[in-house]
Structure 1
Amino acid sequence: MRDTAPVLVVTRLDDATADLVIGELHRRGVPVMRLDPGDFPDEVTLTVAFDASGPHGRIGTRTRTLDPATVRSVYWRRPRPYASGTGRTARWCADQARHGLGGILAALPGAHYVNHPWRNHDAEHKPAQLAVATRCGLRVPPTLITNEPEQARRFVAEQGPVVYKPLWNGDFADDDGRAMTVWIEDVPEDSADAGVSRTAHLFQKRLDKAADVRLTAVADRLFPVRIDGSPGIDWRRHYDSLTYRVVAAPPDVVRGVRAYLDRFGLVFGAFDFGIGLDGRWWMYECNPNGQWAWFPDDISRPVAVALADRLQQGG
């Protein structure tokens, strides 16, 4: 592919993780266009034709323009939702934009995706993650998904201690509209009350662990980082207390992670593991579009380089 072929980065403006990769591509002289579908149609224009040669035309932002036929790679990060506003017409327009612009961005001929948005969507569901992980030889703590309070109480009694995890970390606000985060929490046996029946809940046996691990995978390049120092169950609540150390993943975990990526058709994945007191690694989940830029530069830079390599090479 021509050296002038651009890399398309699909994400919002305030994405520090994408910034690191874009910066690395700029240092190499690779042309990059950043596009947020949430800016369509106010700041993004679209004219693409389809014929025997495939899609071609023009996608433009305020500062850049590209022909979809020339894109070498797509780094699909965290775009904002398509604008909708209120009312039926606005929602209809957002649906048309999602299937029009979104459909074109997901079907660029010859482009290498990290990751393809449809593969991301498939791999975001935790039940699918757990099922695939076990088939790939990765250890998963005993887990229950239910909306039956009596089954939840039984699981807590038999497997305790047990933690609760959200099945999806979507937007959530309290009654006053303030943004809220649902953290991983211990589940006392008497807390599995009638509220469980209102939706699906995930309960998981709490691992008696020595440390946590975030393993960032870019194709066959794996970057396992041991995380120590968390005083609580959910280390994401205690960044100021954490220490990081690059470690080697056990061979069975390496095999399992690579098989997992293959099963979902992923190039990138951010895996969370716990290391038991016996040294065995247990997989909690894999975010197909997870963060890694908060690590110190000596840890995050190799990940940015690996992603830039992949995007520059186009596969």
Structure 2
Amino acid sequence: MRKSILIVTHRRGFETDPVVDMLRARDIRVFRFNCDADEDVSYTSFAISDKEKVEFVCDGRHIQSKDLSMGWCQQMPPYIDQASNERESLQRKNLLALQFAAFDHLPIPWLNKPCHVVYASNKVNQLITAKAVGFSVPRTLVSNDPQAVRDFVQDRVVVAKNLATPWIVSHEQTRAAYTKIIQSEWLNDDSAISFAPIIYQEYCERKRDYRVVVVADKFFSASCVSAPHQREDVRKGCATGDSYIACDFDADLLSKLQTLMRLFSLDYCAADFMEDEHGKIFFLEVNTCGAWWWLDHLYDNAICRAIADAL
């Protein structure tokens, strides 16, 4: 029996689809495993005896670990750890506990192993590592200590960013927590500041934003000039990628990005940078699972092909 590529994703992971189509056109088998919860839950079995055996079941299809040749962590559900009640919380924590153990113990190579994706997704880990490899990073505080926050904000313009995820997903809708400039009156509410740690960064007037997608040794970059209403967050008030154009990116920064990826054991990613009004380029963050579909249109599906080639 020919073996299959395991694709770890979720039902909203639409970036999976064009790569799957490309692989199937090359007569390569794939098994899509959606890591959703609630009524969309998939099945995982991990048998431990003389030999370990893992089995996955998704949408009526099933496969065993012995029939897998490689894995691709396309994207974990951004909402998997967001639960509205105790039952959902219990389900999701246990699903993740089994799924990640199963993924880690599969004797196959990965394009972005899930455990590496989780570690590298942490924004504090990203900022520390970015500084270590030589990127310029805005002056930053990550805290939920009201006095520490007030001391940091004093005499400078500061933006607030979500630490864990900018997406808030419920059964009814998906909302985004955009980056915002701190208003002085917000600093008077100790309970709001202490509720959860977030990222506070010195604000830089942006001239241009960049997104750089890396697949193995291939680079794809695009830039945009933000509109006045996007001075805090380029994602605000427009469809993703609307104003981006393909561009070249600084070779030294690309080399530093590859070093960062090696330290995180990532094989592909999408990285965001911002150029200030003086021409200085700052590292903002890494999307460890790519987020590249809109860039792919600028490069005539070359990103899809690069991922298919890597698999």
How far residue 44 of structure 1 moved from its aligned partner, in angstroms, is 4.4
Report if aligned partners of 1:146, 1:152 keep a CA contact under 8 Å in 2.
yes
Do structure 1's residue 131 and structure 2's residue 167 form an aligned pair?
A: no
How far residue 276 of structure 1 moved from its aligned partner, in angstroms, is 2.1
Report if aligned partners of 1:253, 1:281 keep a CA contact under 8 Å in 2.
no
Q: Work out which of the residue numbers 98, 101, 109 in structure 2 matches 1:100.
A: 98
Q: Work out which of the residue numbers 209, 214, 233 in structure 2 matches 1:212.
A: 209
Instruction: Measure, in 1, the Cα distance between the counterparts of 2:127 and 2:11.
Output: 32
Going from structure 1 to structure 2, the CA distance change for 1:309 and 1:55 (only over 3 Å counts) comes to: farther
- 1:6 is aligned to 4
Instruction: Measure, in 2, the Cα distance between the counterparts of 1:39 and 1:51.
Output: 28
Do structure 1's residue 168 and structure 2's residue 164 form an aligned pair?
A: yes
Instruction: Measure, in 1, the Cα distance between the counterparts of 2:65 and 2:42.
Output: 14
| One-letter amino acid of the structure 2 residue matched with residue 29 of structure 1 | D
Moved more, 206-215 or 144-153: 144-153
Q: TM-score, normalised by structure 2?
A: 0.84
> How many matched pairs?
304
Q: Percent of counterpart pairs with the same letter?
A: 21
Going from structure 1 to structure 2, the CA distance change for 1:43 and 1:276 (only over 3 Å counts) comes to: closer
Report if aligned partners of 2:213, 2:221 keep a CA contact under 8 Å in 1.
yes
Instruction: Measure, in 2, the Cα distance between the counterparts of 1:84 and 1:145.
Output: 24
- Equivalent runs, 1:254-269 vs 2, <5 Å: 254-269=254-269
Instruction: Measure, in 2, the Cα distance between the counterparts of 1:300 and 1:236.
Output: 23
Instruction: Measure, in 1, the Cα distance between the counterparts of 2:186 and 2:41.
Output: 48
Q: Work out which of the residue numbers 58, 61, 78 in structure 2 matches 1:64.
A: 61
- Equivalent runs, 1:104-115 vs 2, <5 Å: 104-109=102-107, 111-115=108-112
Instruction: Measure, in 1, the Cα distance between the counterparts of 2:54 and 2:290.
Output: 32
Instruction: Measure, in 1, the Cα distance between the counterparts of 2:169 and 2:12.
Output: 21
Do structure 1's residue 248 and structure 2's residue 248 form an aligned pair?
A: yes
Q: 1:235 is paired with a residue of what secondary structure?
A: coil
**Unaligned stretches of 5+ in structure 2?**
none
Instruction: Measure, in 2, the Cα distance between the counterparts of 1:26 and 1:212.
Output: 35
Report if aligned partners of 1:45, 1:61 keep a CA contact under 8 Å in 2.
yes
Instruction: Measure, in 1, the Cα distance between the counterparts of 2:45 and 2:143.
Output: 47
How far residue 201 of structure 1 moved from its aligned partner, in angstroms, is 2.4
- 2:218 is aligned to 221
Moved more, 121-130 or 90-99: 90-99
| One-letter amino acid of the structure 1 residue matched with residue 304 of structure 2 | A
Report if aligned partners of 2:207, 2:277 keep a CA contact under 8 Å in 1.
yes
Instruction: Measure, in 1, the Cα distance between the counterparts of 2:217 and 2:244.
Output: 22
How far residue 274 of structure 1 moved from its aligned partner, in angstroms, is 0.3
- 1:279 is aligned to 279
Report if aligned partners of 1:48, 1:55 keep a CA contact under 8 Å in 2.
yes
Going from structure 1 to structure 2, the CA distance change for 1:278 and 1:171 (only over 3 Å counts) comes to: closer
Instruction: Measure, in 2, the Cα distance between the counterparts of 1:279 and 1:207.
Output: 11
- Give CA deviations for 1:76-102 in whole Å, capped at 9, x if unaligned: 1334549999767x8666655443344
**Unaligned stretches of 5+ in structure 1?**
none
Supply the RMSD in Å over aligned alpha carbons.
3.2
Q: 2:105 is paired with a residue of what secondary structure?
A: coil
| One-letter amino acid of the structure 2 residue matched with residue 169 of structure 1 | T
- 2:235 is aligned to 236
Instruction: Measure, in 2, the Cα distance between the counterparts of 1:169 and 1:64.
Output: 31
| One-letter amino acid of the structure 1 residue matched with residue 233 of structure 2 | D
How far residue 136 of structure 1 moved from its aligned partner, in angstroms, is 0.6
| One-letter amino acid of the structure 2 residue matched with residue 259 of structure 1 | T
Q: TM-score, normalised by structure 1?
A: 0.83
| One-letter amino acid of the structure 1 residue matched with residue 14 of structure 2 | A
Report if aligned partners of 2:144, 2:194 keep a CA contact under 8 Å in 1.
yes
